[in-house]
Chains A and B, each alone.
Chain A
Amino acid sequence: MLTLNSPPWDRPATIRRWLKKPGDRLVEGEVLFEAETEDALIEVVAAKAGVLREILVPEKTTFAGNLPVARMDLTGDNSQKSKTEAKRPVPSGGVIPVLMPQAGQSMEEGTIVKWRVTEGARIKKGQPIFDIETDKAVVEIEATHDGRLARIVVPEGGSVAVKKPVAYLAEYDAEVDAYGATPIPSDGGETDPAPERSSDPTAFSPSIPTSPMGGRNKISPAARRLAEERGIDLNCLESGNGPGGRILSTDLVGAPSRKKLTRMRKAIASALQGSKQTIPHFYVRMTLDAGPAMAFYKEQKRQFPCSINDVVTAACARCLADFPAFRSRLEKDEIIESPRVNIGIAVSVEEGLVVPVLLDAGRLTLAEIAAQTRRVVDEARKGRLEGAGKAVFTITNLGMFGVEEFAAIINPPEAAILAVGAARESVLVKDGVIRAGRVMTVTLSCDHRVIDGYLAAMFLARLKERLEKPEDWLHPGRINH
């Protein structure tokens, strides 16, 4: 397959329309697509004859020129290829299904976010053909066979269970029909955000609309663009404030937006719903004097970057070492106790929530806890999750937003989670004397099947003791166990 490059025009140009589509025969000198610059219309012709295989730059895209815009086969190549193919034994029926791979143990279904090839394209083993989104990342999927991609049955945005076909390889479309392959609608079959650019040949008709007044709701170009950017479903809007109900960009303020659940959102939804429905949660809350921990971390901060959350993590690591029940999980009729103090840190990311893990926190100094937490959180925000699923206990902190206290849902298969509130200014009473200071409220959510109230109270009391006297046990440069 050969790459077709656009001419090197002097100023950025926009592809106005493609006159050829994948599978079309190209005659030398025939117009491939039209492009516009600020003041000129350019017709771009094919320098060689052949077959257009794939369009790489879609219509309405602006670029600087001298860029690969399509892939093609030369006519000569094509005939040669079909000769060699004819010699090769055709697999039974001539149809090979392309399956949704299982990219990870927990993966049950995958969503196709992007097709890198179009129907009719010839693909090679090892060539990336589509991208899927799992609950953790976007993964590029390579072809496992050579062949002609006769039909895509799961469109972009569509989901399908693993090991189910997403497309079929075949020399002839009729073979796929005979194979019984039918396109499946994306996810549930309803409210599919209609693909903007169809491969329908009418999409290439002249650009003057025949009836601009009639038909459905009119939408201004600015509104359409804004809706695309913000995921606003324009079907939710009956009409806008423009003439004849024209929807303007100003009408989108306050419009409901409808977005499909991302893989991450789905994973969060199912894990937490499962947790709340199967684990008998109970909650224990304690307010402690945050002054000493504040003073301690500020003192340490002179030597290395560290936060109050790192002090809380260190204290939890120590308490987790003391109380094995908090490192345990229930599996059928057994309680499995983990020797390692792996602490999950809840991190909000753009699409939701992830829990990177600080492995063996019990063996780390405060400086190491601070540095490692920073690193795993940064990595998580970039989409790389460390130690996923290995935590025995999770810490979630909303204190930076001024939240006083909250109760969290246990992240299975863990037995408990600690929700940390803000170190806020408050009145402290000690020995009948009132003074101003800072307090912090922590809430422990526990799995009652593994942990009882007494144990939870002990854990919190120990945590309070440690946080109120950090200098007694916490030596920044030393492991404290």
Chain B
Amino acid sequence: MSDHFDLVIIGAGPGGYVAALHGAQLGGKVALIEKSHLGGACLNYGCIPSKALLASAELMHQLRSSGDLGVEVFGEVKADWEKIQSRKDRIIAGQRSGLNSLLLGRKVSVLKGVASLNGPGKIQLRCEDGSMREILAAYVIVAVGSSPARVPGWPADADRVCTSDEALHWRTLPRKLLVVGGGVIGCELACAFHPLGVQVTIVEMLPRLLPQMDGQISTTLEKIFAARGIRCLPGTRIETMQLTDRGVVATLSGGETVESDRVLVATGRRPATDNLGLESAGLALDRGFLRVNYKMETPVARHYCIGDANGRCLLAHAASAQGTVAAENALGHARTMEGPVPSCVYTFPEIGSVGMTTEEARAVGVPFFAGTFPLRFLGKSQAAGHAEGFVKVLKHRETGQLLGVHMLGHNATECIAVAGAMLHQQVSVEEVAGVIFAHPTMSEGIKEACEDALHAAIHAPPRKIQRMAATV
């Protein structure tokens, strides 16, 4: 096999493998280097395993109220953690092998080993058998992703003070779990473990859970969690964290101490850009990230960076979109990254969000109006037994343009796709109101919220109108 390639991609996550497949589609000779498993954090330590666990957890959660739907379950309903884990492992293995076939089918050379740059376009590969190999690339795409951040100074016992990497593959469940960080990962895993009988406390330093989401979404989710028995402590810091014979003891900023069997540290993710020899190619890091422009170009010609490692947007689908952009630019098709990136949280109820949040719009000073619609007014939400949640849309008050859509509710992660498409086309809320949505669906909430932004929601009582006098 020749060691010259048109395109060499370091990292086979959702950014890297998409770039490889697309590069091959465009006729390039492509190599994809991976030091561990195909699929990256998304398939092995993130999106997919967490969704597998959440599916079991959600079923458990629903069974608790199955009586409401007229289904009586007799005898003990028990979650078998071992079986849940092995199901998850099967799903991962299946996806990995599917991915491998896709790469084979497109004749992408998958190289196993640890890569580092040794000058521009030159890659040193330490293969799994310890041998070294040099690879020359006309174009390089760095797609090394990120890993969970750990808190320096906290106990290094990875069995008890863990990150999502370990938690998703625990062989046993803890009895009491302290989740540090109320972001997407913290909320999803809290939501996954709680129905399986784990007592969960979430501590978030910022004043609300999911700080990046629209504030109304955060506060509503917090209420839902609290009602369910998940203890939420936003605006709280962890002062100390110690291992004792009874478990892990954390002292909170309020002075309270929280005892737990295990701690899940979900305070964020750090780019995995260490030891890549980037400086040999003239590439410099900025707080660990390898910064790029809208074409995914680094400052050094013929070198691109996509996904978590460039710090633009730490989401799998953003990485995939960037992978396509980088592969096209490398292979001579000018492309830039465009359009809004939706973000989803797979708690139950789910959250889908795309475009500006209320907080962002206020910060930028855009004159907006927020239309909202409670999902309980929809026939579908009642029939499906998922009445909680709402849709909120932001409208530009002067132009009528749709600025953002935020949904908390059953199937919100699916419904948000339509909102993303509409934002991509820069439509006005009037135009959304003119689209025919299928009935009965949860997505009707998006149309109704847009109508509310026009003060004309059909299935909601009329808005209260304030009256003021213009004085002479």
Q: Which of A's residues lie within 8 Å of B, judged by CB?
A: 2-7, 9, 12, 14, 16, 32, 36-48, 60-62, 69-70, 72, 74, 206-209, 211-213, 218, 220-225, 242-243, 246, 248-250
Check: B358 CB closer than 8 A to any chain A CB.
yes
Question: Assuming A2-B472, A5-B471, is B434 touching A36 (CB within 8 A)?
Answer: no
Question: Assuming A4-B471, A41-B463, A221-B426, is B397 touching A60 (CB within 8 A)?
Answer: yes
Closest chain A residue to B361, Cβ basis: A38
CB proximity of A79 to chain B, nearest CB, Å: 17
CB proximity of A55 to chain B, nearest CB, Å: 12
Check: B399 CB closer than 8 A to any chain A CB.
yes
Name the residue among A3, A62, A206 with the largest chain B CB count within 10 angstroms. A62
Give the distance in Å from the alpha carbon of A249 to the alpha carbon of B425 in the complex: 9
A7-B469, A208-B433, A212-B434 known; 9 new pairs, CB 8 Å cut-off, are: A40-B466, A42-B465, A43-B467, A44-B467, A46-B470, A206-B456, A212-B433, A220-B427, A221-B401
CB proximity of A232 to chain B, nearest CB, Å: 16
Contact assessment for A222 and B468 in the assembled complex, using a CB-CB cutoff below 8 Å: no
Return the CB mask of B353-380 against A: 1 if under 8 Å, else 0: 0000010001000011110000000000
A-B contacts, 26 of them at CB < 8 A, read A4-B472, A7-B469, A12-B367, A32-B470, A40-B466, A41-B455, A43-B465, A43-B466, A44-B467, A44-B470, A45-B469, A46-B470, A47-B472, A60-B397, A72-B472, A206-B456, A207-B430, A207-B454, A208-B433, A208-B434, A208-B451, A220-B428, A222-B401, A223-B426, A248-B426, A249-B426
Question: Assuming A9-B468, A38-B358, is B456 touching A250 (CB within 8 A)?
Answer: no
Enumerate chain A residues within 8 angstroms of B471, measured Cβ to Cβ: 4-5, 7, 47
Contact assessment for B398 and A60 in the assembled complex, using a CB-CB cutoff below 8 Å: yes
Check: B165 CB closer than 8 A to any chain A CB.
no
CB proximity of B458 to chain A, nearest CB, Å: 10
Closest chain B residue to A65, Cβ basis: B468
Give the distance in Å from the alpha carbon of A387 to the alpha carbon of B288 in the complex: 61
Enumerate chain A residues within 8 angstroms of B396, measured Cβ to Cβ: 221
Question: Assuming A38-B358, A212-B434, is B469 touching A221 (CB within 8 A)?
Answer: no
Closest chain B residue to A61, Cβ basis: B398
Give the distance in Å from the alpha carbon of A248 to the alpha carbon of B426 in the complex: 7
Enumerate chain A residues within 8 angstroms of B456, measured Cβ to Cβ: 206-208
CB proximity of A440 to chain B, nearest CB, Å: 39
Contact assessment for A3 and B472 in the assembled complex, using a CB-CB cutoff below 8 Å: yes
Enumerate chain A residues within 8 angstroms of B397, measured Cβ to Cβ: 14, 16, 36, 60, 62
Check: B431 CB closer than 8 A to any chain A CB.
yes
Closest chain A residue to B427, Cβ basis: A220
Give the distance in Å from the alpha carbon of A46 to the alpha carbon of B427 in the complex: 35
CB proximity of A6 to chain B, nearest CB, Å: 6
Closest chain B residue to A6, Cβ basis: B470
Partner of B368, one of A38, A72, A220, A243: A38
Partner of B369, one of A6, A37, A47, A70: A37
Enumerate chain A residues within 8 angstroms of B368, measured Cβ to Cβ: 38
Q: Which of B's residues lie within 8 Å of A, judged by CB?
A: 338, 358, 362, 367-370, 396-401, 425-428, 430-431, 433-434, 451, 454-456, 463, 465-472
Enumerate chain A residues within 8 angstroms of B466, measured Cβ to Cβ: 40-43
Contact assessment for B426 and A208 in the assembled complex, using a CB-CB cutoff below 8 Å: no
Closest chain B residue to A206, Cβ basis: B456
Contact assessment for A42 and B454 in the assembled complex, using a CB-CB cutoff below 8 Å: no
Give the distance in Å from the alpha carbon of A213 to the alpha carbon of B428 in the complex: 13
Give the distance in Å from the alpha carbon of A69 to the alpha carbon of B367 in the complex: 19
Give the distance in Å from the alpha carbon of A250 to the alpha carbon of B428 in the complex: 16
Enumerate chain A residues within 8 angstroms of B358, measured Cβ to Cβ: 38
CB proximity of B278 to chain A, nearest CB, Å: 33
Enumerate chain A residues within 8 angstroms of B467, measured Cβ to Cβ: 42-45
Contact assessment for A220 and B465 in the assembled complex, using a CB-CB cutoff below 8 Å: no
| A-B CB contacts (within 8 Å), total count | 117
Give the distance in Å from the alpha carbon of A225 to the alpha carbon of B425 in the complex: 15
Give the distance in Å from the alpha carbon of A206 to the alpha carbon of B455 in the complex: 10
Partner of B468, one of A44, A62, A72: A44
Closest chain B residue to A32, Cβ basis: B470
Give the distance in Å from the alpha carbon of A60 to the alpha carbon of B398 in the complex: 4
Give the distance in Å from the alpha carbon of A46 to the alpha carbon of B428 in the complex: 31
CB proximity of B188 to chain A, nearest CB, Å: 29
Enumerate chain A residues within 8 angstroms of B468, measured Cβ to Cβ: 7, 9, 42-45
Give the distance in Å from the alpha carbon of A7 to the alpha carbon of B427 in the complex: 32
Name the residue among A32, A39, A250 with the largest chain B CB count within 10 angstroms. A39
Closest chain B residue to A219, Cβ basis: B426
Give the distance in Å from the alpha carbon of A43 to the alpha carbon of B464 in the complex: 10
Partner of B426, one of A14, A211, A222: A222
Enumerate chain B residues within 8 angstroms of A42, measured Cβ to Cβ: 465-468
Give the distance in Å from the alpha carbon of A47 to the alpha carbon of B396 in the complex: 29
Give the distance in Å from the alpha carbon of A246 to the alpha carbon of B472 in the complex: 45
CB proximity of B287 to chain A, nearest CB, Å: 31
CB proximity of A208 to chain B, nearest CB, Å: 6
Enumerate chain A residues within 8 angstroms of B398, measured Cβ to Cβ: 14, 60-62
Contact assessment for A220 and B426 in the assembled complex, using a CB-CB cutoff below 8 Å: yes
Question: Assuming A62-B397, A220-B425, A224-B399, is B369 touching A38 (CB within 8 A)?
Answer: yes
Give the distance in Å from the alpha carbon of A221 to the alpha carbon of B369 in the complex: 15
Give the distance in Å from the alpha carbon of A218 to the alpha carbon of B369 in the complex: 23
Enumerate chain B residues within 8 angstroms of A213, measured Cβ to Cβ: 434
Enumerate chain A residues within 8 angstroms of B426, measured Cβ to Cβ: 220-223, 242, 248-249
CB proximity of A197 to chain B, nearest CB, Å: 12
Enumerate chain B residues within 8 angstroms of A243, measured Cβ to Cβ: 425
Give the distance in Å from the alpha carbon of A23 to the alpha carbon of B290 in the complex: 64
CB proximity of B391 to chain A, nearest CB, Å: 14
Enumerate chain B residues within 8 angstroms of A3, measured Cβ to Cβ: 472
Closest chain A residue to B451, Cβ basis: A208
Contact assessment for B367 and A14 in the assembled complex, using a CB-CB cutoff below 8 Å: yes
Closest chain A residue to B392, Cβ basis: A39
Give the distance in Å from the alpha carbon of A6 to the alpha carbon of B470 in the complex: 5
Contact assessment for A69 and B454 in the assembled complex, using a CB-CB cutoff below 8 Å: no
Enumerate chain A residues within 8 angstroms of B433, measured Cβ to Cβ: 208, 212
CB proximity of B134 to chain A, nearest CB, Å: 42
Enumerate chain A residues within 8 angstroms of B430, measured Cβ to Cβ: 207-209, 212
Enumerate chain B residues within 8 angstroms of A39, measured Cβ to Cβ: 369-370
Q: Which 10 A-B pairs have the closest CB atoms?
A: A212-B434, A220-B426, A14-B397, A221-B401, A7-B468, A221-B399, A62-B367, A47-B469, A60-B398, A222-B426
Closest chain B residue to A4, Cβ basis: B470
Give the distance in Å from the alpha carbon of A211 to the alpha carbon of B430 in the complex: 10
Enumerate chain A residues within 8 angstroms of B451, measured Cβ to Cβ: 208
Enumerate chain A residues within 8 angstroms of B472, measured Cβ to Cβ: 2-5, 47-48, 72, 74
Give the distance in Å from the alpha carbon of A14 to the alpha carbon of B465 in the complex: 15
Contact assessment for A220 and B370 in the assembled complex, using a CB-CB cutoff below 8 Å: no
Closest chain B residue to A74, Cβ basis: B472
Enumerate chain B residues within 8 angstroms of A225, measured Cβ to Cβ: 399
CB proximity of B446 to chain A, nearest CB, Å: 16
CB proximity of A129 to chain B, nearest CB, Å: 23
CB proximity of B159 to chain A, nearest CB, Å: 48
CB proximity of B471 to chain A, nearest CB, Å: 5
